[in-house]
Amino acid sequence: MSMSLPADENPDEGTTKADLIRAALKHFGEHGYDAASLRSIVSDALQNISSIKYHFGSKKGLYDACVVAVARRMRSEGPGEMLDLLANDPHNLTPEEARSTIRIIIGTAIRDALRPGSRSDTKFMRREVLMGGRGVDLFLKEVLRGHIDVMAALLSRAENLPPESSAARLRALGIIGQTTFFLTADILTKKSMGWDRFDDRVPELIDAIYPIQRNLKALL
């Protein structure tokens, strides 16, 4: 189902709508749409079932509101905000500047996803994208397509790839995919690496995804 991002759908923190969305993000992100319990959601939000019908019409309406809320935050905060700042002129960077910028964006994305306040948002978004959920078209249209465009432009400068080429876009998707993997499979990563914590390993994750020294000839 294709959706559009409403211009005015931004409930204030502490309102019933915001509390329901916050609780729903947690349960939809952990259990998915079908398995998430509305009773558990309203219990966490300290509300009642009738509040969902009043504010969102149905479980589907609440789910779609969660998609909109996450898309809005991803577009305006964290790596989305940084990509917007770069969107005007990534082609004017030197290859070295482009490579450094790519590493900064990866680090920003990881740190933003690891913030306690964004854990539910991140888990919800990953499930949507990886499972092809109701909101995947909205995420692609409002968030990911812009991220991919800017990352591809940076990679064309960093690795001497033709601008706007399929090779640059595939490299961009590869980097975004690797970053998503480490965040999605954080338990697997910690067990495989023998790490107790994840948030203090960001520099190592950046190096694994996009090391500062690359064999660029192998990519051409």
In a domain, 130, yes or no: yes
In a domain, 8, yes or no: no
Report whether 49 contacts 87 (CB < 8 A). no
Report whether 141 contacts 148 (CB < 8 A). no
Task: Let me know whether 52 and 96 are in one domain.
Answer: no
Q: How many domains does the chain have?
A: 2
119 alpha-carbon distance from chain centroid: 10
User: What integer pLDDT is reported at residue 216 of this predicted model?
Assistant: 46
User: What integer pLDDT is reported at residue 214 of this predicted model?
Assistant: 55
Task: Let me know whether 207 and 112 are in one domain.
Answer: yes
For residue 121 the two structure tokens come to 């948002």
Q: What is the CATH number of the domain that holds 141?
A: 1.10.357.10
In a domain, 59, yes or no: yes
In a domain, 195, yes or no: yes
Task: Let me know whether 98 and 26 are in one domain.
Answer: no
Task: Let me know whether 81 and 173 are in one domain.
Answer: yes
Q: What is the CATH number of the domain that holds 54?
A: 1.10.10.60
Task: Let me know whether 104 and 189 are in one domain.
Answer: yes
In a domain, 10, yes or no: no
In a domain, 190, yes or no: yes
Task: Let me know whether 82 and 39 are in one domain.
Answer: no
Task: Let me know whether 94 and 194 are in one domain.
Answer: yes
Give tens-digit pLDDT for 86-102. Answer: 655 787 888 998 999 89
Query: Domain of 32?
Result: 16-66
Cα–Cα distance between 207 and 152 in angstroms, integer?
19
- Please list the pLDDT of the chain residue by residue as tens digits (220 residues): 445 555 445 566 678 999 999 999 999 988 888 899 999 999 999 999 999 999 999 999 999 899 888 877 776 665 555 666 565 578 788 899 899 989 988 998 888 878 776 677 777 877 777 777 777 787 777 777 888 888 999 999 999 999 889 999 999 999 988 988 887 788 889 999 999 988 899 999 999 999 976 544 444 4
User: What integer pLDDT is reported at residue 39 of this predicted model?
Assistant: 95
User: What integer pLDDT is reported at residue 61 of this predicted model?
Assistant: 93
Task: Let me know whether 46 and 153 are in one domain.
Answer: no
Task: Let me know whether 62 and 91 are in one domain.
Answer: no
Task: Let me know whether 179 and 90 are in one domain.
Answer: yes
Please list, in sequence order, all residues whose beta carbon lies within 8 angstroms of the beta carbon of residue 132, skipping any fewer than 6 positions away. Answer: none
Report whether 142 contacts 75 (CB < 8 A). yes
